[in-house]
Structure 1
Amino acid sequence: MSTSRVLDFINGFRNSIAYLTSIIITIYVVLGLAAVTLEINTLPGVLDFLDFDQPDTARTLLSTLMAGMISLLVFSFSTVMSVLTQAGSNFSNKLVFGIMTEKRHQQVLGHYLGTILYLLILLLVPTIGDTPDTWRSLAVYLGAAMVINSLAMFVFFIHGTSQSVQINAITQGLLVSTQLSLDKLRKKQASDEYRHRPDGCQPVTGYPVYSRDSGYIQGVNFSALARIARHHEIAIHLGFTFGDFVVKKFPILDIEADAAPGDVLVDRILACLEYVEGESTRDHYVNGLTQLMEVAIKALSPGINDPGTARLCIHQMTELLSQRLTLTPPNMLVDDDGRCLISWHEESFESLMFRVFDPILHYGGQDLSICLSLLKAFKTMSNFAKDDDHRVIQAHTDRVIQHMADHFTAPLEVAFIEARLTRGLHRLHINVRLPERSASS
């Protein structure tokens, strides 16, 4: 197995729901093995009152605790899956995967399964003698304490899960995680190693490298990749945009070098690629924007018909895109002499605007409140935009205004719209009257 495949497996396991769960389960199993294998006869005599007098009392208690834990596990997670299924049908299935992989849910699952395994170990290994000694009795009481801890976690688990599927919590979570991704981008921009070149960094003599796995590439290990480029005096040009889905045996990068790279070098470079199952908003801010857009258009579907949720998503996207306008995302990493080591593609603001707002206008264009929310969003973003980005925002603004002129023609609607066309602080060129209807309408 190659190094890249080993690293991909490790990263995949660490990002899965089984990682933290497995660690917690291991702790419980170790406690259970310690309880049945160790023989400690030097415990203080004051603890003798904890000994079980009857031989079957401990096993009966453990059996009851075991049955209760299994019932609790089945009930809690069947309830959670029902809630998450409803959330997935109302918002987006991508959000369900993100909720289930949260660390707090992994912790609860680990404590539940760990407690069951601990009790099972005590049941499988018989006690020495007619009644359990003090050490084994303490182990039984510890099992009871674990069950009580699981009951307390059950209450907080149900409460947290019910809160996590509220639309305000979902959009706020997407906003926070996407802001963290933008903060990483802001730190790169402030670094001297990262630069932005409008035309990118094109290879002079490029040797293509083909992918060996399929999946979403959310990022790369820039530090490791830069060390490789410096050591071998090469330049690495990534041929994909972060967040893209790539298939096997597809050319994903070019190596600018005097001679063709060997298999060892290619393996080291491919090992720096970070594959993630699904779309990570913490690693790539575009995923947060697109997920907010998907929640918005799902809310605008006839089966749900919730324009309020769509407007909330538009507000969150406005906040994120306003922050994006203040950044110039770097697309190359250079050495101390300014030589290009790594280059990659960054999605332009024009592409982002069309990607996140065009579907909302398409599916929600018949709702006046959605059109006015889009207009308000463009007004807000215009205060942060530079010349090129300002022209993009102006074009989308003109499109929304023309759309309203074509579809809302009643005198009451026209008066309502025109009263709000120029309202608010903005840097857009907007007439105080709606334009004439287009010929196609």
Structure 2
Amino acid sequence: MRQYYFSFLKTLERLESNIAFYPTLISLGGVTFAFFMIYLESIGISRYLVEAAPILVVNNTETARSLLTTFIGGLISIMVFSFSLVMILLNQASANFSPRVLPGLISNKRHQVILGIYNGTLLYSIFTLVSIAPHGDKYQMPGFSVLLGIIFMTMSLGAFIYFIHSISQQIQVGTIMDKIFKKSQARLLKLVESEKHLETDFEDTANWNEIMASQTGYMQDVSLNVLGTLAEEHQLKIEIVPIKGAYVLKGIPILKYKGDVDDELKEKLLDAVMFSKSELIEDNYVLAFKQITEIALKAMSPGINDPGTCINAIDYLTELFALRMTKKNKSFYFSEDDEALIYVRTVSFEQLLYNVMAALRTYCKHDIIVVQKLFTMLQYLLQNREVLRENYKESIISEIRNLKIDALANHENEADIKVINNIIKHLEDLNPSDYKFDSNT
């Protein structure tokens, strides 16, 4: 039962990232409310309000028809304009920043709710207009429903004004990077808080039995609670072979286990692994490093040529790397008795830093200002109090050497070379160890 509960939560999260999720729900709410009001009109709510509070009722058929017809035409125009703005936003974000930022923009709940308000009000107005039907030689006049239509239209206009303001903010690269940073920061903090700081030597898994992937896709998430429960119940030890976010091909090992497992239990273990065709930062913080790096690289391309954005991206990467240094390179799921039951493979700090720096060195080494910023980032990480954890210091020093080689090889101006050498000398003076940043040390 617990397994199906976590599976339901993950399915709900995937639905929420769809641009049509909230508009569909709110539209259904608008239709349902319209039928509810038609029922109230049939039992005479408008006739009662005409006697008790006539100001709340639109009691003229032509006025009601004109208002609702105007609302319907206006809302269709607003919806077309709003959806066009969303498509322009997604197109510009893909062209100027990175296609991988699109899932985060599409999953913006505020925009989804606003589009839902438009559609819900439109459907409510249509059904209310249809309910103005002839009754003998007179019309059945849903006066109170028309008044509510006016209120909903006013709300839609307010939502439209907010939408214009929000969409103008969302297209700014600073807003996009800040949103990516906050999501990944929240995810990293959650992982760091959940870690048990226990020294653990997990068994060698080379000869363990393997469970092959039954489908192809990105390994979006793994329900460790479900796997842990199954491991305790059946006295198993488990290793999750791919790194979260990796693209898994059908038929390759996805789990390793030690213990007795039948076919039914294999299916339960596989069901704890969630696959997806999209990637979300909420499930995998490594994507934030990838996306911010891609924004920096796009900013340094000749077509855009925006070093300022690249420098801002490096600032965000600096904070994320400093936070990543508080996390261990190896992750385990522990039982209540602090026994390591599951070994979770993660991207090591060394590999993460190399991947980011390799890309930035390749495309930014010709710009002395950006090179200085990269040295500043590495200097900050080198002086961080977490630098000794998991041999992180050696990784940072290695990247300083690599950056020095590339920077000197791509600058011939004596002033630029002097700046680079002065930075290296300053780093050597700050470094309390015997490390030197020469390529042959």
Counterpart residue type for residue 404 of structure 2: I
In structure 2, C-alpha distance between the alignment counterparts of 1:76 and 1:18, rounded to whole Å: 14
Counterpart pick for 1:427 among 413, 425, 431:
431
SS at match of 1:343: strand
TM-fit CA distance, 1:307: 1.4
Q: 1:108 corresponds to which residue?
A: 114
- Residue among 93, 97, 106 paired with 2:103: 97
For residues 345 and 361 of structure 2, the distance between their equivalents in structure 1, rounded to whole angstroms, comes to: 27
Specify the alignment match of 2:420 in structure 1.
417
Matched, 1:219 2:221: yes
Question: Structure 1 stretches of 5 or more lacking a match?
Answer: none
User: Residues 329 and 349 of structure 2 are in contact (CA less than 8 Å); yes or no, is this contact kept in structure 1?
Assistant: no
Aligned to 1:298: 298
- Compute the displacement of 1:288 (Å): 0.8
Structure 1 counterpart of 2:150, which letter? A
Q: Distance in 1 between matches of 2:432 and 2:287?
A: 28
TM-score, normalised by the number of residues in structure 1? 0.88
Provide the residue aligned with 2:262 in structure 1: 261
Q: Which residue of 2 aligns with 1:238?
A: 240
Distance 1:11 1:326 in 2: 28
Tell me, yes or no, if the aligned pair for 1:52 and 1:131 is still in contact at 8 Å.
no
Distance 1:311 1:333 in 2: 38
Provide, for residues 210-252 of structure 1, a one-character-per-residue CA deviation record: whole Å limited to 9, x for no partner. 2233222232221122111111111221111011111333321
- Give me the whole-angstrom Cα distance separating, in 2, the residues matched to 1:31 and 1:158: 27
| Per-residue deviation, 1:41 | 2.5
- 1:428 Cα shift? 7.3
Distance 1:5 1:224, change over 3 A: closer
In 2, distance between residues paired with 1:95 and 1:305? Answer: 20
Q: 3-state SS of the aligned residue for 1:274?
A: strand
C-alpha distance in 2, partners of 1:15/1:414? 48
Instruction: Quote the residue 1:281 is aligned against.
Output: 281
Residue 34 (structure 1) aligns with: 36
Distance in 2 of aligned mates of 1:53 and 1:392: 77
Q: Does the residue aligned with 2:242 lie in a helix, a strand or coil?
A: strand
Cα pair 1:332 1:344 within 8 Å, conserved = yes
**How many Å separate the matches in 1 of 2:134 and 2:255?**
65
- Pairwise CA RMSD: 2.9
Decide whether aligned partners of structure 1 residues 152 and 290 sit closer, same or farther in structure 2, where only a CA change above 3 A counts: same
How far apart in 1 are the matches of 2:318 and 2:374? 9
CA distance in 1, matches of 2:171, 2:193: 32
Structure 1 residues 7-66: Cα deviation after superposition (integer angstroms, max 9, x where no partner)? 575553244233333332222121111112232336341333555554333222211110
Tell me if 1:403 matches 2:406. Answer: yes
Letter in 1 for 2:241: G
Amino acid at match of 1:262: D
Q: Alignment partner for residue 139 of structure 2, among 116, 131, 142?
A: 131
Distance 1:354 1:330, change over 3 A: closer
Query: In 1, Cα distance between the equivalents of 2:279 and 2:87?
Result: 21
8 Å CA contact retained: 1:202, 1:237: no
How many angstroms apart in 1 are the aligned matches of 2:280 and 2:431?
34
Shift of residue 324 of structure 1?
1.3
Q: 3-state SS of the aligned residue for 2:61?
A: coil
CA deviation after TM superposition for structure 1 residue 201, in Å? 3.9
Superposed CA offset, 1:244-276 (max 9, x none): 111333321123213x4223x223222222334
Question: Identity across aligned pairs (percent)?
Answer: 27
Counterpart Cα distance in 2 of 1:254 and 1:302: 47
Report the Cα distance in structure 2 between the residues aligned to 1:429 and 1:204, rounded to whole angstroms. 37
Say if 1:29 and 1:114, in contact at 8 Å, map to a contact too: yes
* Letter in structure 2 aligned against 1:389: Y
2:394 aligns to what? 391
Shift of 1:6: 7.6
After superposition, residues 18-417 of structure 1 pair within 5 angstroms as 18-38=20-40, 39-41=42-44, 43-44=48-49, 45-127=51-133, 129=135, 130-133=138-141, 136-189=142-195, 191=196, 197=200, 200-203=202-205, 206-258=208-260, 260-263=261-264, 265-384=265-384, 385-386=387-388, 388-417=391-420
CA distance in 2, matches of 1:376, 1:163: 29
State the shift of 1:5 in Å: 12
Contact 1:332 1:343 in 2 (8 A): yes
Mapped partners of 1:5, 1:181: distance in 2 = 18
Distance 1:291 1:429 in 2: 34
Do the aligned residues in 1 keep the contact of 2:241 with 2:345 (CA within 8 Å)? yes
1:116 partner letter:
L
- Residue 12 in structure 1 maps to residue 14 in structure 2: yes
Secondary structure of the equivalent of 2:280? coil
**Aligned-partner Cα distance in 1 for 2:309–2:392:** 27
Q: 1:182: how far off?
A: 0.9
Q: Which AA in structure 1 matches 2:325?
A: L
Preserved contact between residue 401 and residue 438 of structure 2 (Cα < 8 Å): no
1:394 Cα deviation from its structure 2 partner: 0.8
Distance change >3 Å, CA 313–CA 87, structure 1 → 2: same
The number of residues matched between the two structures is 427
* Structure 2: segments with no counterpart, 5+ residues: none
* DSSP-derived class of the 1:159 partner: helix
Length-normalised TM-score, structure 2:
0.88
Residue 36 of structure 1 aligns to which amino acid in structure 2? I
Contact 1:382–1:393 (8 Å) recurs in 2: yes
How many angstroms apart in 1 are the aligned matches of 2:435 and 2:251? 53
